[in-house]
Amino acid sequence: MKPFENLTVLDFTQFTSGPMCTSIMGDLGAEVIKIENPPYGDNNRYNPPSKNKNTCYISSLDHNKRSVLLNLKDERQKEIFFKMVETADVVVENFKAGTMEKFGCGYEKLKEINPQIVFASISGFGQTGPWKSRAAYDVVVQAVSGLMSVTGEKGGRPLRFGVSMADVTSGLMACVATLAALYDAKRTGVGRYIDLGMMDNVFALLEQPVTSYGITGIAAKPNGNRHPSAVPFAAFSCKRRVQVVICAFTDHDFAALCKILGYPEISDNPKFLTRNLRFKHEDECYDILCDLVKDWDAQELIEELNAKGIVCAKVNKVSEVYNMEQVAVRNMIVDAKWPDGTKVKIPGQPIKLSDMEEVAEYPVSPLGYDTIEVLSRYEETQIIHEIFDPILKESAELAAVRSEHLN
């Protein structure tokens, strides 16, 4: 049995941060009802890459969800939404600040209907402050939060992370906050409003650069693959330019590393005797180690390091990770299956709980696929057909046109 079974989540999210939050809850057993605005729904339905016009974004972030078309600007449809709120546990949205209030569906209104409702808002800059009305995408938050200023090669220009780090971590943090509020609601009978600003989240994750600046007054800069205070703790280039990460920053491990490399006397150098001394002379230390590592076969070096308990790993491509036994054993590549039979490989659920069966295949809903079935719980089926049959027909036609560019 999954821990969130019998939990109902009304999901207004789009793009990445919000869908990440609700995807976790869906994987752990919640019924997530993804409410999409007709006629097009979530923009991720039209973003490549895709397989048989079924996109990877929806496959990875919106599996295990029911897709319902609903327009809050329409009073009849909004009344159906209010009926959904009566028995729901959570509402999650990631619009610009104030959007749900503009529709008359903000937290103050919803808690009148259901005092235990937990309402989570994810936005670029939160619901308060001079930037609250600004729109934001992941790269904007990475830039303004300071994250990009510490990412990149030493001495080089700032770079964004290779993945949407601001988005995915904000989704994770919003999920943690939602679960905390749910626990409290079960205890007290009163829900909570969650105001999750992506900039706040990323700034909080900069624990070392922020704290260091508060102590020294010196702003951190890009440091490449090196650690900001531990040496050696970096990626090294072996034969054929294969990269290996080596973390031998304790004095014991550094001495063992030097012995493996054939020059144990390096660890007795007065400049390198302790971790702090190595950090003070890091460029000289790295120059020596890089020169010694470059002639090693990567796999042979990793085997030697592992034998001595030195933490290390080859820098893999995603294509290499796909074929790792460790990944297969941990069920970390699974299928997202669409109703037409299309299967898209996606990352598996990293949360492993006792007595929770591993899942190898997740269902995915096309746009509006569950509208009639789900909404018929809250209103007479005849009325639901009367309202939504024309909407579903128009959405299917327009979405098909917009999807023509997809594979």
Active site residues: 227
Q: What is the DSSP string of 64-103?
A: TEEEEE--TTSHHHHHHHHHHHHH-SEEEE-SSTTHHHHT
Cα–Cα–Cα angle for 318, 324, 325, nearest 5°? 160
* Residue type, position 193, single letter: Y
In terms of C-beta distances under 8 Å and separation of at least 24 residues, what long-range contacts does 279-285 make, across chains too? 279/229, 279/230, 279/231, 282/226, 282/231, 285/231, 285/232
Residue 377 DSSP symbol: T
Closest CA to 338 of 10, 111, 9, 51: 51
66 beta partners: 33
Whole-angstrom distance, CA of residue 300 vs CA of residue 66: 50
The Cα–Cα gap between 289 and 282 comes to 10
Using CA atoms, how far residue 261 sits from 108, 338, 381, in Å, is: 65, 52, 74
Closest C-alpha to 29, from 200, 179, 146: 179
Distance CA 93, CA 101 (A): 12
- The CA distance from 87 to 244, in Å, is 53
